[in-house]
Structure 1
Amino acid sequence: MKITQAERDAVYKTIFNRRDVRAEFKSDPIPDDVLKRILTAAHHAPSVGFMQPWDFVIVRSDQTKLKLKQGFTQANAEAEALFEGDRKEQYSTLKLEGILEAPIGICVTCDRTRSGPLVLGRTTNLDMDLYSSVCAVQNLWLAARAENIGVGWVSIIHDDVLHQTLGIPKHIVPIAYLCLGYVSQFYDQPDLERRDWLKRQNLDSLIHEEQWQAKL
């Protein structure tokens, strides 16, 4: 199937306008058919050996969200303590999650036992299943953005909190806890760039031809 120019442009527009949403979530519910489309897109991510190691734990309960929020608060305090001076002060002003505000949370996981101990394509690098699950996260994120739904990745939370709160079996690896919801706005820039935490690096400085070139 050939992709038309309009379809191509829509893909690039979605990629360039994807944002990590934290503070802009609205309480409007996500219709079931829209959520199913988003999850279907995630399920069509590439996976090594076609093992499809992902599962999706959907969180709607305020009680569950509150437990996860408590887990974030603890981990965030630990993270803040690692910074010093102005950087620490700046860190304390950042909103880094929308657990309670987002109507839906989704935990994307990786079952490293799926398809058995020997998986085509994972014989040299055993972490390819983890990378495959991250591809599902990216598909989910882009599909959500195409639906005008914001997504925020809550990386500042310990895996044991996700295991205990969501009843995830011990052998399953949590890959990402994502907050999903309609938003009041999508900003033109990523939040951390907009708040002068870091700037986007120049692409040309990251491209190497044939061999790695040391940067001056």
Structure 2
Amino acid sequence: MTDHAFSDTDRQAVYRAIAERRDMRRFVPGAEVPADVLARLLAAAHSAPSVGLMQPWRFIRITDPALRVQMHDLVDEERRATAAALGTRSEEFLELKVEGILECAELFVVALGEGRQAHVFGRRTMPHMDLASVSCAIQNLWLAARAEGLGMGWVSLFDPARLAALLNMPADAEPVAILCLGPVPDFPPRPALEIDNWAFGRPLPEFVSENCWPRAELPAMSEAGGANRQP
């Protein structure tokens, strides 16, 4: 360790926020987020790294109740379309709670800002790095919210063009997330999709390799072909 390391207590707090962050769908109705807390959360998001210091994120706070309902309708329409596309898992998907738009204390739309195409630094061969930068800002906000005792849910079930039109975005801006934020009844010990038996996380070793892409295991060879081996 170096002298730049955090104290044990601070380090444990960082790892705890990472481990206990959850994608939340259930919120305490009628709750509020204090203005000073909300300011800290947005400052945390704005402190995220961005390629070429382009800061491509835009945060739109939704305070109009009627607009919330319109956004909920857009999400619900896509929820049903997604269910139809899932085939045999359609009914199972419809039973999942996938958003808390009408219940959460604060609602935000996060978008890729206008004019970002002008940023070449880091994007000449990888233009999607603007989206990667926005994702870093969202993760900052998510972890800060958990540290403040608040839940956050990322909703991606919507038609970007229709949401952009609803919010009067310029032609070269693009919504990437609806964020539901606020007090929650509790934080589940595992991701909600695991609890609902929809999907399960896989262990870290399956995602880590060294020096090259991991090679798939070859099937065991018959006795005539010899022992299982790689060329």
TM-score, structure 1 normalization: 0.94
Q: How does 1:43-82 map to 2 (within 5 A)?
A: 43-82=46-85
Greater Cα shift, 105-114 or 15-24: 105-114
Which residue is equivalent to 2:104?
A: 102
Identity %: 39
Give the TM-score normalised by structure 2.
0.88
The Cα shift of 1:112 comes to 5.2
Q: Which amino acid aligns with 1:108?
A: V
Letter in 1 for 2:115: T
Where do residues 70-149 of structure 1 align in structure 2 (5 Å cutoff)? 70-85=73-88, 87-111=89-113, 113-114=115-116, 117-149=118-150
What displacement does 1:26 show?
3.5
Matched AA of 1:91: F
- Mapped to 1, the partners of 2:27 and 2:182 lie a distance apart of 9
SS at match of 2:107: strand
State the partner residue of 1:41.
44
State the shift of 1:118 in Å.
Answer: 4.1
**Runs of 5+ in structure 1 lacking a partner?**
none
CA spacing shift, 1:26–1:5, aligned 2, 3 Å? farther
What is the Cα deviation at residue 128 of structure 1?
Answer: 1.0
| Cα deviation code 1:118-164 (max 9, x no counterpart) | 43222221111111111111111111111111111111011123212
SS at match of 1:39: helix
SS where residue 108 of structure 1 aligns?
strand
Query: In the alignment, what sits opposite 1:213?
Result: 214
State the partner residue of 1:193.
194
Cα deviation code 1:161-190 (max 9, x no counterpart): 321222222211112110011011110011
Q: Which runs of 5+ in 2 are unaligned?
A: 218-231
Specify which structure has the bigger relative contact order, considering alpha-carbon pairs within 8 angstroms and separated by 6 or more residues. 1
For the 8 Å contact 1:68–1:161, the answer to whether it is kept is no
Measured after TM superposition, the shift of residue 89 of structure 1 is 2.0
Query: Match for 2:25 among 16, 22, 40?
Result: 22
Structure whose CA Rg is larger: 2
Calculate the aligned-residue CA RMSD, in Å: 1.4
Give, as a single letter, the amino acid of the residue that structure 2 aligns with 1:102. C
Deviations 1:24-77 (A, max 9, x none): 343211111100100000000000001111111001221110000110111111
Number of aligned residue pairs: give it.
214
Letter of the 2:20 counterpart: N
Residues 54 and 119, structure 2, Cα contact 8 Å, conserved in 1: no
